[in-house]
Structure 1
Amino acid sequence: MAATLPLRRVGMFGGAFDPPHWAHRALAETALGQLELDALHILPTGHAWHKSRVLSPAHDRVKMCELAFGDLPRAQLDQREIHREGPSYTADTLRELKREYPQAQLFLVLGADQLLAFKTWVRWQEVLELATLAVANRATNIGADIPLDQASETDLSGVDLPFVRLDMPLKNISATAVRARVGQAAQSAGALDVLVPEPVARYISQHHLYQSPT
Structure 2
Amino acid sequence: MKPLRIGLYGGSFDPPHNAHLTLARLARDQLGLDELVLVPAGQPWQKADRAMAPPADRAAMLRAMIDGEPGMRVDECELKRTGPSYTLDTVLELQARPEYRGAGWFLVLGQDQYARLHTWHRWQDLLARVTLAVAGRDGEQPKPSTPVAAVPHQVQALPMPAMPLSSSDVRERIDRGQSIAEVVPPGVARYIDRTHLYRS
TM-score with structure 1 length normalisation? 0.83
Is 1:78 matched with 2:85? Answer: no
Of 162, 177, 196, which residue of structure 2 is paired with 1:170?
162
Which residue in the other structure is 1:9 paired with?
A: 5
**Unaligned 5+ runs, structure 1:** 139-151
Deviations 1:190-213 (A, max 9, x none): x2111101111121122111123x
Which residue in the other structure is 1:68 paired with?
A: 65
For 1:200, give the aligned amino acid: V
Of 88, 95, 100, which residue of structure 1 is paired with 2:85?
88
Q: Is the 8 A contact 2:40 2:76 kept in 1?
A: yes
Q: Secondary structure at the match of 2:199?
A: coil
Which residue in the other structure is 1:20 paired with?
A: 16
Task: Count residues with an aligned counterpart.
Answer: 191
Is 1:204 matched with 2:200? Answer: no
Q: Percent identity?
A: 42
> Matched residues in 2 for 1:192 and 1:154: separation?
28
Which residue in the other structure is 1:183 paired with?
A: 175
| Structure ranking higher in helix proportion | 2
Q: Is the 8 A contact 2:114 2:134 kept in 1?
A: yes
Q: Is the 8 A contact 1:7 1:39 kept in 2?
A: no
Q: Is the 8 A contact 1:43 1:80 kept in 2?
A: yes
Q: Is the 8 A contact 2:18 2:183 kept in 1?
A: yes
Deviations 1:161-195 (A, max 9, x none): 442110231111100111111111x22xxx21111
**Unaligned 5+ runs, structure 2:** none
For 2:164, give the aligned amino acid: N
For 1:98, give the aligned amino acid: Q
Is 1:29 matched with 2:17? Answer: no
The CA deviation at 1:137 is 2.1
The CA deviation at 1:129 is 0.7
Deviations 1:10-62 (A, max 9, x none): 01000000000000000010000000001111100011111021111011101
Q: Is the 8 A contact 2:180 2:189 kept in 1?
A: yes
